[in-house]
Amino acid sequence: MKRIINLFLFSVLSAAALFTSSCTTDFELNAEYDEIPVVFGILDQSVDTQFVKINKSFIGGGDNMSYAAINDSSLYSNVVGRVEEYVDNVLTETFPLEEMWVTNLDEGIFYTDSQKVYFFVPTSLTKPYLNEDATYKLIVDVSEEAQPILAETDLIIGSDLNWDLLTSNGAVQNGIIFADASTLSQNDYLTSSPKSTPGGNADKYEFKLRLHFTEVTVAGVSTEKYVEWNLGEVAVVSGNLKKEISGEAFYSAINNKLAGYADEANVEKRIIGENNIELIVTAANENLSLFMGINEPATGVVTEQPIFTNVEGGVGIFASRFSRNLSSYLSVHSTYVLKEGAETSGYKFCVDPAWDVSLNGHDMNITYPGITCP
């Protein structure tokens, strides 16, 4: 069931001024509390563990932003849930939801020290992941008095979502090319155009690019990191997904992501190694696409937005997505521009010597002496 309602997700903050016939200035800012389950679950058969967030709406007599920072305000004490798998309307698997506390959360208005989530690992004797041909139904009980929370979703047909053969072969043989030998002297960047096929049951697509590196501090501590660049939504044109990626924009994106890094003074070098570029195409099904579209920032004079939900007995979203990754590397000239270009030369990039000599017969350090890490 799909519904679009006017309701604030995670909290009920609608004000109700209660006027009476007597001329009094007393009024209540908050409406009578109505406990509403809030569910957020996105199934993805490209990963092995599936997560579902289950909370309740809350309201208080004071500042609701303060209540949001209290974990117990939005937690249920007893949640019993399961996800059922159906193929051709026949129940084939049942996965009980298990409880997990997660930490190291991003800063926000909600409690960030730790939060409770629910998960299941869909393993069986016949398959290690979710079945893209199945329908999945979420069934949750949060109390003896409340009605069960129900929702269902299909999956993206991930076997249809693949990187184009020319894109895949080029990524392996030549890497991702954003620059050539004349780029730094003539300021002429190149454009890369990865292409993929669309997936079944998908309604929205996005491309992302990640630059992977090993960050080494002056104290000798090495940490694997990446910079992610969201390339935005991609439309299906002539049966394919295609994105033009500007080389100049790529180096600007790296600069923007690393600029202002608080610990930059302690970075000795950033090592570029094998598979340093990752292309990711992600597909969302119709329910997730609607949910994302409705919750985009308001651009008009009306700032109050409806909330899409396909959860019966609560609000929220139970939907699906699927990602297909492609590992590659920056080409020789593109890597040199990363190290020496005006946008990124200050970030101490260098090439792993062990990877350089094995790079498809190329040796970057011969073409560009000093590009490898000392």
Instruction: Please give the single-letter amino acid code of residue 129.
Output: Y
The CB density around residue 106, as the number of other CB atoms within 10 Å, is 6
Cβ-Cβ contacts under 8 Å for 136 (sequence gap 6 or more): 43, 83, 84, 85, 86, 130, 152, 153, 154, 155
The closest of 328, 230, 226 to 270, measured between CA atoms, is 226
Residues listed for the chain: 374
Query: Using one digit for the tens of pLDDT, what is the confidence trace for 17-48?
Result: 223 333 444 444 445 555 788 899 999 999 98
Rounded to whole angstroms, how far apart are CA atoms 168 and 186?
Answer: 29
Distance between alpha carbon 269 and the CA centroid of its chain, in Å? 28
**Eight-state DSSP code of residue 200:** B
Query: Using one digit for the tens of pLDDT, what is the confidence trace for 70-107?
Result: 555 668 888 999 999 999 999 999 999 999 988 775 66
Residue of higher predicted confidence among 103 and 273: 273
Are 154 and 285 spatial neighbours (Cβ–Cβ below 8 Å)? yes
Residue of higher predicted confidence among 200 and 18: 200
Are 184 and 257 spatial neighbours (Cβ–Cβ below 8 Å)? no
Are 41 and 288 spatial neighbours (Cβ–Cβ below 8 Å)? no
**pLDDT band (50, 70, 90) for residue 340:** very high
Query: Using one digit for the tens of pLDDT, what is the confidence trace for 202-222?
Result: 999 999 999 999 999 999 999
Cβ-Cβ contacts under 8 Å for 102 (sequence gap 6 or more): 114, 115, 116, 117
Q: Which of 8-17, 70-79, 153-162, 303-312 has the lowest mean pLDDT?
A: 8-17
Residue 357 pLDDT: 76
Is pLDDT above 90 for 61?
A: no
The closest of 111, 202, 205 to 154, measured between CA atoms, is 202
What are the sequence ranges of the domains in the chain?
A: 3-155, 160-281+326-367
Residue 107 pLDDT: 63
Residue 176 pLDDT: 96
- Secondary structure class of 53 (helix, strand, coil): strand
Distance between alpha carbon 302 and the CA centroid of its chain, in Å? 28
Residue 68 pLDDT: 52
Distance between alpha carbon 288 and the CA centroid of its chain, in Å? 12
Rounded to whole angstroms, how far apart are CA atoms 373 and 355?
Answer: 11
The CB density around residue 245, as the number of other CB atoms within 10 Å, is 19
**pLDDT band (50, 70, 90) for residue 333:** very high
Residue 307 pLDDT: 79
Residue 69 pLDDT: 53
Residue 24 pLDDT: 42
Residue 109 pLDDT: 46
The CB density around residue 246, as the number of other CB atoms within 10 Å, is 14
Average pLDDT over residues 282-294: 94
Residue 299 pLDDT: 64
Residue 119 pLDDT: 96
**Percentages (nearest 5) of helix, strand, coil residues in the chain:** 20, 40, 45
Report the chain's mean pLDDT, rounded to a whole number.
85
Q: b/e for 217-234, b at 16 or more Cβ within 10 A?
A: eeeeeeeeeebebebeeb
Helix 247-258 to helix 332-340 angle (10° resolution) is 40
Average pLDDT over residues 97-122: 77
Residue 77 pLDDT: 81
Give the pTM.
Answer: 0.82
Q: Which residue has the tokens 């439309």?
A: 235
Is pLDDT above 60 for 149?
A: yes
The CB density around residue 240, as the number of other CB atoms within 10 Å, is 12
Tokens of 354: 């062990």
Are 115 and 40 spatial neighbours (Cβ–Cβ below 8 Å)? no
Q: Which residue has the tokens 């007599």?
A: 61
